[in-house]
Structure 1
């Protein structure tokens, strides 16, 4: 969260600081602010030279719906309405429901949420940023902090643009295109801050904003010296405030943490351990590193920025590790205590039922068949649970290879025909055979087919057919499984691919199953780089279609 906020704000600031045209600056600022906040409309107002009227610069969004402030007027008197009041007081105003707020109701039926923030350089107000949306309660504290931070950056850049316009007006030239940082410092007369690429006010707001996120966050410059860190990182470091000051080297950071016994597990390998951590920061791996400190697990990651500085994040994953351990123990128990004996039981029942151990009466044969069927049903549940757990934990791996489409379809029909025949339902392929191949794990694709076909059979009446079809969609092969059953109720569609969800939930439901098949099927298809969709009319059957990428060559 902290890194995302840093990147979002940094990208916005970098973009607007590269603009010299005033019109383009306003247009791009309003567009990016509206996009960052997820609101329908953003308008920037500027105070005129007399400081008595706010003049609308540009407006983006749906002005015809009266979302933008004063859609027909371009000026707002100081102290009038939300925009004028914010410009006068300098205080942010956030309205959750405009239509229900007696103080700020402007007879704007299309507007529900509104936030107005003053653009200030030091104590001087240059204008107001006004954002609006038709949905109520859009702007929470996080968006307020973000907009206040952005407003400080916009104000500083605006001041710099005005300064550069004035220099152009009197025919002065900026030597080597004076850096934006220098222009901002001259225009707003701010001192250098621990976050030098941002204006002072923006830096201060940004520092306060990232203290709200849960993970630890630190920024190190290209000389490996501390620039800034947030409150969670200060707490995680275990170091006193007088040490955690800008300029602290990363190596000294590590050594101080060892000195203050924050890393007791390193033992006597202190020098080697420090060197390893410094190298990790200098050449960070793509994936986070999991470390254990004082009995708790953390996820540590370093990322290099374009200017050579380094972002460091630390996330407490101790709870996640405990859940992962419990999951592994559960999976191990299910596998060894249930699947293994069930497999043996099913094998023994099959051997006895075959008559190879002696003749059986009809009653005994029927009882054995019932036991075998229910044992197989339970084994299928165990296998589904293990697959679901492996997918959730990211531990299921595919072994893909170019596989003929015709072979996949033929195998799907052959392997599921006996299951269909037991219910009086035929399985057939409709259409022409294809010479193309797909990149597929054959065993897992057959599992996808088996899940879809078994569902179709369960919801089909005796004498009906389940149809498999195929078509090409660009670089994808699309496979469809259709039935003529009752279809899927509309109220169940949002839960269709959720685990343990079934359209029939009563204890007396006619169709068996545990509600894991479609969830697993969707995950397996997506792991292949495809997608799973459905179409259904209640009472008119259902069709499930999944895609797989075509093999190259």
Structure 2
């Protein structure tokens, strides 16, 4: 008698065997895939552990470098101060007159020790920045006071009779709530560079209000300028532009890098416009009021 289902028992058995085989193969592939995923996961975990270890070593190395720079900078300051004091005594003729040649040599000592002191200060500031130990101390101040202090600071330094250092009257600049010392340090770096690389002409320092919330400071010179291909690099650590003047001058190449980092601490940034043999203008733009300032002082409503 025929099967009422109309199916051949042999065919049904074959299909069952095929299905069982397919299921077994799929299960085998799943097991292999699971094993591969577990192995990959172990590799990823090992990679994360290695990266964490390397990051920890990097942090330790950075901390050691910062501590070394800070320690050496402090140690260098004492002999540098002694050299500068002795040179000043000699220059003032406290112990008797000097010949013209002796006065010239003492002048070289003063110049070199001042350059050395600047290098040490740059290295110390770099160490503090990398260690996150530079604090911002904002307060209300007038920009004319900062310009006056800078003018007095550079008066004995700007000795080239062919270069005139000009501080313009601030334009529509209100009282600022920021760290005046760090702002002065940025401008001091800009002016020092301008004096180094300007053989004749003028250096002009200005401050202008930008919009409602910011002030832009500019230091313009008629010096050797900077080719456009170097603009992206001059604010990086240890960067120095290859030029005949640069080869005569010593430095760490940290001044502009530090200026950029200090400007960012003040909520601003730096920029440059320059062309080779046509002078340079360095800018720092900061907010009029640094974020998280305390209550406005009683006399603030009188300032523009």
TM-score of the pair, normalised by structure 2: 0.73
Give the aligned partner of residue 276 of structure 2: 538
For residues 485 and 506 of structure 1, do their structure 2 counterparts lie closer, same or farther at Cα, with a shift above 3 Å needed?
Answer: closer
Report whether the alignment pairs 1:391 with 2:125.
no
For residues 354 and 542 of structure 1, do their structure 2 counterparts lie closer, same or farther at Cα, with a shift above 3 Å needed?
Answer: same
Structure 1, unpaired ranges of 5+: 1-122, 124-200, 214-229, 237-297, 300-313
CA offset at residue 423 of structure 1? 5.3
Match of 2:209 among 472, 476, 482: 472
CA offset at residue 232 of structure 1? 6.0
Give the aligned partner of residue 439 of structure 1: 177
Give the aligned partner of residue 329 of structure 1: 68
Report whether the alignment pairs 1:381 with 2:90.
no
Which secondary structure state, in structure 2, belongs to the residue aligned with residue 356 of structure 1? coil
CA contact (8 A) 2:87 2:109 kept: yes
CA contact (8 A) 1:439 1:548 kept: no
Report whether the alignment pairs 1:320 with 2:49.
no
For residues 404 and 434 of structure 1, do their structure 2 counterparts lie closer, same or farther at Cα, with a shift above 3 Å needed?
Answer: farther
For residues 331 and 436 of structure 1, do their structure 2 counterparts lie closer, same or farther at Cα, with a shift above 3 Å needed?
Answer: same
Which secondary structure state, in structure 2, belongs to the residue aligned with residue 402 of structure 1? strand
CA distance in 1, matches of 2:74, 2:38: 50
CA distance in 1, matches of 2:135, 2:40: 40
CA distance in 1, matches of 2:55, 2:207: 47
Give the aligned partner of residue 262 of structure 2: 524
CA contact (8 A) 2:217 2:284 kept: yes
For residues 422 and 206 of structure 1, do their structure 2 counterparts lie closer, same or farther at Cα, with a shift above 3 Å needed?
Answer: farther
Could you report, residue by residue, the CA deviation over 1:418-461 in whole angstroms, capped at 9, with x for unpaired residues? Answer: 32234532221335544512232222221111110111122223
Match of 2:96 among 327, 341, 358: 358
Q: Determine which structure has the larger helix proportion and give its number.
A: 2
For residues 393 and 505 of structure 1, do their structure 2 counterparts lie closer, same or farther at Cα, with a shift above 3 Å needed?
Answer: farther
Structure 2, unpaired ranges of 5+: 1-25, 27-32, 297-304
Which secondary structure state, in structure 2, belongs to the residue aligned with residue 418 of structure 1? coil
Match of 1:342 among 67, 80, 97: 80
For residues 501 and 316 of structure 1, do their structure 2 counterparts lie closer, same or farther at Cα, with a shift above 3 Å needed?
Answer: closer
CA distance in 1, matches of 2:214, 2:37: 45
Which secondary structure state, in structure 2, belongs to the residue aligned with residue 349 of structure 1? helix
Which secondary structure state, in structure 1, belongs to the residue aligned with residue 109 of structure 2? helix
Match of 1:460 among 188, 193, 198: 198
For residues 206 and 467 of structure 1, do their structure 2 counterparts lie closer, same or farther at Cα, with a shift above 3 Å needed?
Answer: farther
CA distance in 1, matches of 2:133, 2:41: 33
CA offset at residue 479 of structure 1? 0.6
CA distance in 2, matches of 1:445, 1:417: 19
Could you report, residue by residue, the CA deviation over 1:4-32 in whole angstroms, capped at 9, with x for unpaired residues? Answer: xxxxxxxxxxxxxxxxxxxxxxxxxxxxx
Could you report, residue by residue, the CA deviation over 1:209-242 in whole angstroms, capped at 9, with x for unpaired residues? Answer: 87665xxxxxxxxxxxxxxxx4567x79xxxxxx
CA distance in 2, matches of 1:423, 1:504: 26
Give the aligned partner of residue 416 of structure 1: 154
Give the aligned partner of residue 219 of structure 2: 481
CA distance in 2, matches of 1:548, 1:205: 55
Could you report, residue by residue, the CA deviation over 1:72-117 in whole angstroms, capped at 9, with x for unpaired residues? Answer: xxxxxxxxxxxxxxxxxxxxxxxxxxxxxxxxxxxxxxxxxxxxxx
For residues 316 and 531 of structure 1, do their structure 2 counterparts lie closer, same or farther at Cα, with a shift above 3 Å needed?
Answer: closer
CA contact (8 A) 1:406 1:434 kept: no
CA offset at residue 365 of structure 1? 2.0
CA contact (8 A) 1:438 1:548 kept: no
CA distance in 2, matches of 1:209, 1:497: 43
Give the aligned partner of residue 301 of structure 2: none
CA contact (8 A) 2:84 2:110 kept: yes
CA contact (8 A) 2:197 2:245 kept: no
CA contact (8 A) 2:173 2:209 kept: no
CA offset at residue 533 of structure 1? 0.6
For residues 356 and 494 of structure 1, do their structure 2 counterparts lie closer, same or farther at Cα, with a shift above 3 Å needed?
Answer: same
CA offset at residue 519 of structure 1? 0.8
CA contact (8 A) 2:144 2:169 kept: no
Give the aligned partner of residue 20 of structure 2: none
Give the aligned partner of residue 425 of structure 1: 163
For residues 476 and 378 of structure 1, do their structure 2 counterparts lie closer, same or farther at Cα, with a shift above 3 Å needed?
Answer: same
CA offset at residue 391 of structure 1? 1.4
